[in-house]
Structure 1
Amino acid sequence: MPMSTTPAPGVENRTPGEAELDDAEERTEDRLYCICNTRYDDERVMIACDRCDEWYHTSCVNMPDLEIDLVDQFICPLCVEKNPHLDLRTTWKHRCLNGLQQQDPNSPDACHKPARGAFSKYCSDECGVQYMHMRISLWVENGGNGDRLWETVKNAEKREGVVVSARVVEGQSRSPLMTGDHAALAIVLPKISKADRELARLRARLETLVQKREALKAEMDVIAWREKVTELAIQHADTIEQCGWDQRLCFGEEEVAEFGASVLESYEENPTQADVDGTPEEAEWWCMGKKKCDRHSGWQKLRIADVEFDKETKDQALQKLTKLEREIRKRVEDILDPHAHLEKSKMLEPSSPRVPVLSRSTAINGQPKHKLNGDQAKKGKKRKE
């Protein structure tokens, strides 16, 4: 009798891939984890060893759940015990300063995230602002002057860049809940101070502004020349009862610089008087048509409007440059003599807006609570597929 090939009930529709996946799930459910040798529990936080890749409950390796985000490299106790000749240990990241300086750093309400390395002592800009609000609040409560503080910091700018060098630091790591781990990076201090760099930058801007201002004044001299020539051309047209349009009004800056003086002289020489041939040499620049010339009709009003518009535009641009130059020069003076600036501000008693101050309770409790679950683990909780 031939053997039956009928599949077992419930597995007749499984593909080979699905069968292997089901078998893997069954093996995973039976696997024991951690030094406590228990099955996987999705309610407990776990972390993987960076050397053997075995998973451990944080509670079994004396690691508070709040520290899970601060782990840089986790080495399990078994790997440390099996390799006494190696310097194996768990290392930590620096903790956000906002969390360290709270009344109760161990509280879940405090920030337990890692700082951004050498670039910042805080995990985020929000934590940095919150910490400074708390500092300002305490400072004002102890008699600090908020107006003078605002005068000191209102011109502060963001840091342009940081140079960091890597170096080995000896010593055992410590719990990040209070002091943070040893530093593995070092900031390279600049050879030129921040004040000197700022002065160099401001002076370079001043030099650029001076060049722009001189160029703008040259353009305004051309506009003044056109205004004068337009006035003379209108008077000339009224005298000879002709159109009088002067083509030289279209001269550019280079032509004005080269021929501008001779153009003004041509009006002073009374060009309405004919020479021996009956036509003055300069007359070739003027339109000799009738007073209301079809080709140049209304040129007087148009030219006057153009000159007025150009004058107004250049005046506004010059005022902006002058104001900006004055602000930069004041900033240079403040850097060179900051104490004089503060004393002057104190005497004038400026009505500057005060820095917003948060209460101590708000600064401490404003940090959102962290939800402690497996998703916070360094490599994530081991989940079933």
Structure 2
Amino acid sequence: MSQDNVVLIDVYICPTCEAHTPTRTSYKPRCARTGCKKAARPPISRYCSDACGIAAVYARAKATSARQELYTQVASANNRRGTAEWHGTWPEEARQQAASRSEAIAAAQTALDVIEIRARILQHAEDRQTSLVGDSGPLCGFDERLCWSDEALKRWADAGGSLDESGPKPSTEPGTEPGTGTGTGLVCEVPKRKCKRHTDWSVIRGTDVEVNREMQTQLLAELSEQVCSA
């Protein structure tokens, strides 16, 4: 038994006697003041003495005052959330690596954004297909925007392109923006059973979107982890 527990003993039963009686050694509650190892004086007080009680009250009052002062300082401080200050210099190699990671993350995020644009176009085309019916039955309904390059698709989206538009296809001439060339509409109106060019386009394009989304998401996660561990 430790010396600290000895002073707290109320009723002591030796180990030999414990085998012959249900009574066990009992202890007085410890003084409520942090750090004090003496016994309290219940039910008169939770402290061992008046001095200990006064000291505990004083400590709480001091802590409350400190918290109030801290609150005042925080409330009156300038909002610097989201800022950081660096007073040293990075080695050139570390600077280049950080810049390279940032560029790679930005590129991966841009690629993901384009994939989501393709996904929205694909979903819209699938929803629209049920209403495309001609004299010979259901039409193909393939949306030519699903074939656009990432750059062309992003320019179209940035320009506020609408999913419902069915204007001209982008010209195949180099340097021509989507929607400025001449040609037939964006939606294939060949009867579905006769269109050999876009067979199973919904399944093929859907798989393509999911595979690319998973690849870019994994790449972005790996790049972000590299930044965190750098």
Tell me the TM-score normalized by structure 2. Answer: 0.47
Q: Which has the higher relative contact order, 1 or 2, with Cα contacts under 8 A spaced 6 or more apart?
A: 1
- Between structure 1 and structure 2, the one with the greater Rg is 1
